[in-house]
A and B are shown apart, each in its own frame.
Chain A
């Protein structure tokens, strides 16, 4: 009997069905990809702590350093979060504390404590896309951009990445027309992000240079943001990364601004 075209096809289909559980099935729902990337980048564990060193390099190659300890506590996965940042370098910002109550769906509450004046300053929420302490990182890069602020489109699925294009819902609130993220298919960490301006040019790029696993959570430990217009860039290095320390909510209050608890900020 001459094999019918159908019987030729069947074994192939059968093989490919068998192969699927081995090569993890690609996701096709962009909302799920974006949500998992958000959880992997900003919600690992219920809380976390890291020592961060930012090296800011300007177009002429001059360096400036920002060193701080960052604490995070999640109210719920993908939901509201608290952040506290205690600076140790340079000398003129030592003991400055930055506190954020991040809210999904409404403006964040942000405070800055200036120790020389014993002053607790409230910071307007409108300027999320301004420089974080003079670096090329923006406030929004540190605590995360809400996934609801963009429309998402899965433009490509490669061997290693989901390539997702994000278009802001409120174009007036940001300086880019779109941004594209290369999301690692296994860790869901965005490995590269490129921001595109009105002229269609990439003017800003964020890259994960190193990834390591801590307490079972893949974590970016070296990250670079480049301003492609000026040539300046900032490299952020994360050390002593720890998750699920049991940091109480009381740490993220005015008390911490004025008198930061060394118990939670000191890295041992």
Chain B
């Protein structure tokens, strides 16, 4: 059960937005308040916007695939079938937007590092290389926790984007300085999973092509481990994405994406790994498909999103059916079906495959 309060005030020079969810949870048997937005936006001049507070932030060109978007994600919500909007977790941040004619600039400063809401074993079990098996909060005795960087001025996150639109093509350059959003590193002193230093540089382009929309995006994940020899720190990676979406027949849209993760200094990674047999391939290929079919004046919508990885031999299917009974009542039925090896990205979650039914009443 989830109750949302959505308040906003729009003035001439400022806006206030509040969006909070109160939820009662049948799994953890707890009440929880999740403030998704509590921010003030100021328009001090014609060319500057400033947003301060708790906010949901997104950029980049991928569909459920994020390269240059290092804002926090909620993978638990994503895999258990909450609405897509919950994949994006809020950040406590300060965002500057500068609109200098043709060139625009966004800078986001998150003073206290905000990790992804990652899979902890509480709702979803996952593969643990050290025990070579699937683990859960029950088997571990407690949910997985990560050791967070100390709350120091220098341990914040800084993300930036420069963008412009040139004859219908959106071109962007991105930069990020912070930490791995998932606890991919291991802190020997604390004996805990942790987030190691990370810088990301990237670029993207998006525009219309052959009656559809095409996008290209690339990013270099520059890890703290320069030598590539420290097995407790993830290696640098090159990530690339190419996508295309268009309408096939009236009201039926198809989207296709190809995504690549290429781990650098791979030989050193395997040579220094405690569990080399469980290391992912040097190059991971993933293909995603999305079909959307709208019927009956858009009151009925069928979607099928699929992730398939040829290198990991695993996949994740997300079928859903949405029925808008009225402006107030929306019914959704759907499922998350994961398959593949225990070791693979989606395969390790296969025991967590689920179906859901959702009723939303808005007023």
Once A117-B88, A253-B99, A254-B163 are accepted as A-B contacts, the answer to whether A130 and B15 lie under 8 Å apart by CB is: no
Q: Does A79 count as interface, using CB distance less than 8 angstroms?
A: no
Once A117-B56, A117-B84 are accepted as A-B contacts, the answer to whether A92 and B362 lie under 8 Å apart by CB is: yes
Q: Mark B326-347, 1 if CB is under 8 A from A, else 0.
A: 1110100000000000000000
Segment among A37-45, A119-127, A187-195 that sits at the interface with chain B: A119-127
**A131 in contact with B297 (CB, 8 Å):** yes
**A124 in contact with B326 (CB, 8 Å):** no
Q: Does A20 count as interface, using CB distance less than 8 angstroms?
A: no
Q: Mark B297-309, 1 if CB is under 8 A from A, else 0.
A: 1110000000000
Segment among B27-35, B128-136, B183-191, B243-251 that sits at the interface with chain A: B243-251
Once A91-B363, A175-B250 are accepted as A-B contacts, the answer to whether A116 and B297 lie under 8 Å apart by CB is: no
| Residues of B close to A253: CB separation below 8 A | 99, 104, 165
Which of A119, A175, A250 sits near B58, CB closer than 8 Å? A119
Interface size band for B: 35 or more
Once A124-B211, A134-B297 are accepted as A-B contacts, the answer to whether A117 and B58 lie under 8 Å apart by CB is: yes
CA distance A136 to B298 in the complex (A): 10
| Residues of B close to A56: CB separation below 8 A | 297
Which of B84, B99, B206, B298 sits near A131, CB closer than 8 Å? B298
A interface residues, how many (CB within 8 angstroms): 45
Shortest C-beta distance, A156 to chain B (Å), equals: 31
| Residues of A close to B294: CB separation below 8 A | 130-131
CA distance A215 to B15 in the complex (A): 32
The listed residue with most A CB atoms (<10 A of its CB), out of B41, B84, B298, B324, is: B298
| Residues of B close to A169: CB separation below 8 A | none
| Residues of B close to A114: CB separation below 8 A | 85
| Residues of A close to B165: CB separation below 8 A | 253-254
**B251 in contact with A126 (CB, 8 Å):** no
| Residues of B close to A65: CB separation below 8 A | 327
Q: Mark A128-171, 1 if CB is under 8 A from B, else 0.
A: 01110111100000000000000000000000000000000000
Within 8 A of A (CB), among B220-247: 245-247
| Residues of A close to B84: CB separation below 8 A | 117
**B297 in contact with A232 (CB, 8 Å):** yes
Q: Does A239 count as interface, using CB distance less than 8 angstroms?
A: no
CA distance A135 to B296 in the complex (A): 10
| Residues of B close to A133: CB separation below 8 A | 298
Segment among A9-17, A203-211, A255-263 that sits at the interface with chain B: A255-263
Q: Mark B83-98, 1 if CB is under 8 A from A, else 0.
A: 0110110000000010
Within 8 A of A (CB), among B1-52: 6, 8, 10-12, 15, 41, 43, 49, 51
**A107 in contact with B299 (CB, 8 Å):** no
Shortest C-beta distance, B202 to chain A (Å), equals: 17
A-B contact pairs, 24 of them (CB 8 A): A56-B297, A58-B297, A58-B299, A92-B330, A94-B6, A109-B208, A119-B58, A122-B208, A122-B213, A124-B246, A125-B211, A127-B250, A127-B251, A130-B247, A131-B251, A131-B297, A134-B298, A135-B297, A253-B104, A255-B99, A259-B15, A259-B43, A262-B12, A266-B10
A62-B326, A114-B85, A118-B58 given; 13 more Cβ-contact pairs under 8 Å: A64-B326, A90-B328, A95-B8, A109-B168, A122-B207, A124-B211, A124-B246, A126-B211, A130-B294, A131-B298, A250-B99, A255-B97, A263-B12
